[in-house]
Structure 1
């Protein structure tokens, strides 16, 4: 269950896929996601303990935003380091798999069962147990009430 759509060079990912990582650290990327990502894209540390996956055009947009953060701001430096130090360009093999670098697998505690989730302009890769813990969605009514403060009116 999942899908995506593209608008110009910007892309939109959605859906949830369950997969496994093999003993060598390889992960199959769902074909629907590969159609947008292409043969090479960027994987980096994400927030909430997952990994973020960006198509190259989206990664370049994100990099540009990081470049303009003030070097004199300590939080901006940490934020930039967090995303760039762990970033890796990965290539899809003939079987539709990528090799996730060990440092990224360790960060996200990815050992076997994982969930790939399309989240607007990126894909998140989660340890399945963490995904289930973090997505109880019990408090969605409360969260939805506060989204208008962020400019999202439904």
Structure 2
């Protein structure tokens, strides 16, 4: 399970260190793709296969299903850590998430998310006030 929040810097070639706490669970190969809210989703192979199976079940006759699967899979790339425990994020994914230098890497249960630091800070500022309301709406019976 992935939990926690870590700040890292990306170099000019798009390489960034993956937090030590996440490396073992990500394994030797993992998938990075476009996520929601203009961040990147990082899946270990096992979780990626589960997600792929779920998306494969969506009806291709539905326009929204086709659009979502195209968006999700077309941005996906398989990654490995280099000897310095960095990943090289492709330019198209860096552009999508607005990643430049300061990044935040967060654990979200079965996946890791990579955010531009300013975007993450803004998201947290906007979401903090609504947190109690969200919890109430999700967990009330």
Work out whether the TM-score is over 0.5.
Answer: yes
Find the counterpart in structure 2 of residue 16 from structure 1. Answer: 5
Superposed, 1:119-138 pairs within 5 Å as 119-136=108-125, 137-138=128-129
- 2 CA distance for matches of 1:120 and 1:81? 24
Q: Is it true that 1:144 corresponds to 2:135 in the alignment? A: yes
Bigger mean CA offset, 68-77 vs 138-147: 138-147
Matched, 1:103 2:92: yes
Aligned to 2:14: 25
Residue aligned with 1:72, SS: coil
Residue deviations 1:110-152, cap 9 Å, x none?
A: 0000000000110000000000000121111111111126xxx
Higher normalized contact order (CA 8 Å, seq sep 6+, divided by chain length): 2
Q: 2: distance between equivalents of 1:21 and 1:57? A: 26
Instruction: Tell me the distance in 2 between the aligned counterparts of 1:41 and 1:118.
Output: 15
1:38 is displaced (CA, Å) by: 1.2
* Structure with the larger helix share: 2
- CA-based RMSD of the aligned residues comes to 1.0
Counterpart mapping for 1:68-79 below 5 A = 68-79=57-68
**Structure 2 unaligned blocks of 5 or more:** none
* Moved >4 Å (runs of 4+): none
Gaps of 5+ in 1: 1-11
1:86 and 2:69 matched: no
Spell out the pairing of 1:25-64 with structure 2 (5 A cutoff): 25-64=14-53
Tell me the number of residue pairs that the alignment of Structure 1 and Structure 2 aligns.
139
Give the TM-score, by structure 2 length.
0.96
Q: Which has the higher strand share?
A: 1
When normalised by structure 1's length, the TM-score is: 0.88
Partner SS state of residue 78, structure 2: strand
